[in-house]
Amino acid sequence: MAEQIAESASASCPGVDIRILFLNGDDNRLTGGALPRPANGAQPSPQAVIVPLLAGPHPVIDAAIDAAVSQAPGLVMLAAHLGPHPLLAGAVHDRLSEVGLARAGRARGLNIAAGASGVLLIADRGPQAISDAGVTAVLLAARLAIPVVPASLGDPASVSNALDRLREAGASHLAIAPCVIGPETEPAAFDQLSAAIGAPCAPPLGSHPAIAQLVAIRYGEALARISIPSH
């Protein structure tokens, strides 16, 4: 999956050396590819931009990434999470439509055969993740013309509150839409949630083309933050 995303992102970033790195859970180091090292005597400047493959905040993984960046050779710039962004809403919509839970066209409602009248948008863990996913939920609701409410994976209270809000909005038949890339979350967690509330679940975002687009966008935004001293 990461290889597909990197290959697609490279098309939007010609000439950029894109490397796939993984977190080593034992010591929070980045593995899988070497980061460029600064030349001797070189002026301090970012040697690399790290773009986390995260749709939104994840307290544990974010802390591990911060620790890994602090140990990286040279100066490394950390880009923002991929979300919130309108592209995520489109990607979630596509994933729903791929499994028959939504029509492919914009703002045409859910498939009548599926009988779904509301969407539970599942972000990853933490209150900030729910807040960021709330932006995606609003955009997705506009596309589908039905209620969409965010909740946090692993937070039963947030799921319960979201279900109450959906029922109050008249949604009696639900669909679950993961707003996560995939590897950061155990697949069984969605299976368990689907079984617990009796609602079908779309697949995670994975290597959807929008993810590669967002990687390129966050990379560009990070470069724009670099201040170039005037001479």
- Residues 62 and 67: their CA atoms lie apart, in Å, by 9
Residue 57 predicted with pLDDT over 50: yes
Confirm whether 231 is domain-assigned: no
Pairing of strands 22-24, 29-31: antiparallel
Confirm whether 91 is domain-assigned: yes
Same domain, 133 and 164: yes
Residue 40 predicted with pLDDT over 60: no
Q: What integer pLDDT is reported at residue 231 of this predicted model?
A: 42
Q: Considering the chain, what percentage of its residues have pLDDT values greater than 90?
A: 53
Average pLDDT estimate for 120-134: 89
Q: How many domains does the structure of the chain reveal?
A: 2
- Residues 158 and 150: their CA atoms lie apart, in Å, by 8
Average pLDDT estimate for 56-83: 88
Confirm whether 229 is domain-assigned: no
Q: What integer pLDDT is reported at residue 113 of this predicted model?
A: 40
Cβ contact 120:199 at 8 Å:
yes
pTM of the model: 0.86
Same domain, 93 and 46: no
Q: Considering the chain, what percentage of its residues have pLDDT values greater than 70?
A: 83
Q: Is 148 helix (H, G, I), strand (E, B) or coil?
A: strand
Of the pLDDT bands very low, low, confident and very high (cuts 50, 70, 90), residue 230 is very low
- Collect all residues with Cβ–Cβ distance below 8 Å to 206 and sequence separation of at least 6: 1, 181, 182
- The secondary structure element, H or E, covering residue 28 is none
Same domain, 116 and 45: no
Same domain, 70 and 105: no
pLDDT (tens digit per residue) in 84-93: 999 999 999 9
Average pLDDT estimate for 186-198: 92
**CATH number of the structural domain spanning residue 166:** 3.40.50
Same domain, 140 and 115: yes
Q: What integer pLDDT is reported at residue 124 of this predicted model?
A: 85
Same domain, 201 and 96: yes
Same domain, 95 and 182: yes
Of the pLDDT bands very low, low, confident and very high (cuts 50, 70, 90), residue 141 is very high
Confirm whether 230 is domain-assigned: no
Same domain, 34 and 70: yes
Q: What integer pLDDT is reported at residue 112 of this predicted model?
A: 41
Confirm whether 159 is domain-assigned: yes
Same domain, 188 and 119: yes
Same domain, 176 and 110: yes
Q: What integer pLDDT is reported at residue 111 of this predicted model?
A: 46
pLDDT (tens digit per residue) in 208-229: 999 999 999 999 999 888 754 4
Range of the structural domain that residue 45 is part of: 2-82+210-224
Residue 147 predicted with pLDDT over 60: yes
Same domain, 37 and 75: yes
Same domain, 123 and 185: yes
Residue 46 predicted with pLDDT over 70: no
Q: What integer pLDDT is reported at residue 7 of this predicted model?
A: 92
Helix ranges (DSSP H) in 99-186: 127-144, 156-168
Q: What integer pLDDT is reported at residue 28 of this predicted model?
A: 57
